[in-house]
Chains A and B, each alone.
Chain A
Amino acid sequence: MTRGQRRAHRIAWLVLGPLVIAALAYALALRADVPPSETPGAEASP
């Protein structure tokens, strides 16, 4: 890999990593609050 590619990989994960962890933590926190019947997409079932 070139120097630029190595740097791009590092930056990508330094930015994406914390964002994904934060969004995942928020999703897990939501689970405690939302009853299954109100879960997004559940009303779309035939």
Chain B
Amino acid sequence: MSAKYVTVQWTKRKIIYDAMVVLGTAVYIALFTMIGHAARPDVSGPILDMRAYGSCAFLMLTIILCLGPLARIDKRFLPLVYNRRHFGVAMFLVAAVHAWKVLSFYHAYSDVPELVSLLTNDASFTKSSWPFQLFGSWALLIVFVMAVTSHDFWQKTLGGTTWKSLHMLVYVAYALAVLHVAYGALQLETHWAYATLVCAAAGTVIGLHLVAGARSNALDRRGVTWATHEGARWIDAGPPGRIPKNRALPVLVPNGERIAIVRDGERVHAVHGVCAHQGGPLYEGKVIDGCLTCPWHGWQYKPGDGCSPPPFTEKIPTYRVCLSGEGHLLVDPMPLAAGTPTEGVLIGKEHGDAA
């Protein structure tokens, strides 16, 4: 979140996160090269190098794609989602080094330019051969576009929906990367362990997304629970004590969207569940320094009025809440204008405590 354009808004957490990514990448490549030299003296240095960078990029993309569903399944993974963009850009750089090493080793002596050689040398589908280099090239092109448009400037320029749709192409990039490995390296290296590792990686990514999707779908299918209060229809959000202290929970509203019911100490508010930044799930966020904080990139909103703390100017809609006679939290289904202050409700110990 930013009041003005800055290249990267560094925070201590971002620096630590990025340092871990750089350190992890360097250690992986060093270990791969050392072990590779010792275990496979028949493989030349340049080939070992390109495999080190290629396998590292594949592993990084696998981890990046696992973070989202893991965080939806278990909130303990949420801190890893934060700053995932830098992880993605680092992955692109490692993949680009892999591609550069392949071009300068396999295609440097071709009669045609290196890129032409890469794109034409192995470009046909036959029964026994698929163009694995093309798969890798397309995957790299997608992550390149994602890396250069990863800054908030592009999100604002392209618009949230276009930007998000563009960045969902990472799933296609991963599918292409799996095919690149399966029809390339796995055809050369026939030991069962390599095939097992690739299958496990792809299976984990696909399985986690399907499980997280099914759980999310189950919440949507449950539908809205209605209650009548003082002659009007309100959404019954259940006992307020089920919201852990300084956390948020999702509640479905009639249009199928989710709002966040937020517990800030002993007071509960309801705000729009979608972050104004990149559509992050505010209902999975937590209260830090009195502000509901988006788990994706740390954008913050005050639960009482949906406004970002000064100097920031973002606002999200708020909802009126009250307690029913049975002690259930009720939410008015009609949103208030973005930034409208609400009182929220004060909950006592008699309402239970999930904290």
Q: How many residues of A contact B (CB 8 A)?
A: 33
Tally B residues with Cβ within 8 Å of A.
49
Q: How far is the CA of A3 from the CA of B213 in the complex (A)?
A: 12
A31–B117 CA distance with the chains assembled, in angstroms = 25
Residue of B nearest to A45 (CB): B106
- Using Cβ atoms and an 8 Å threshold, which residues of chain B touch A2? 257, 274, 279
Q: Are A3 and B206 in contact (CB under 8 A)?
A: no
Q: Decide if B99 is an interface residue (CB 8 Å cutoff).
A: no
How many angstroms between the C-alpha atoms of A2 and B183 in the bound complex?
A: 36
Return the chain B residue nearest A12 by Cβ.
B171
27 contacts between A and B (CB under 8 A): A1-B280, A2-B274, A3-B257, A9-B213, A10-B216, A10-B217, A16-B175, A20-B178, A20-B179, A20-B202, A23-B182, A24-B178, A24-B198, A27-B130, A27-B182, A30-B187, A31-B190, A33-B128, A40-B131, A40-B132, A41-B121, A41-B122, A44-B121, A44-B122, A45-B106, A46-B106, A46-B108
Q: Which 6 residue pairs are nearest across A and B when measured between Cβ atoms?
A: A27-B182, A10-B213, A17-B206, A13-B209, A3-B256, A40-B129
B interface, CB within 8 angstroms of A: 105-109, 117, 121-122, 128-133, 164-165, 168, 171-172, 175, 178-179, 182-184, 186-188, 190, 195, 198-199, 202-203, 206, 209-210, 213, 216-217, 220, 255-258, 274, 279-281
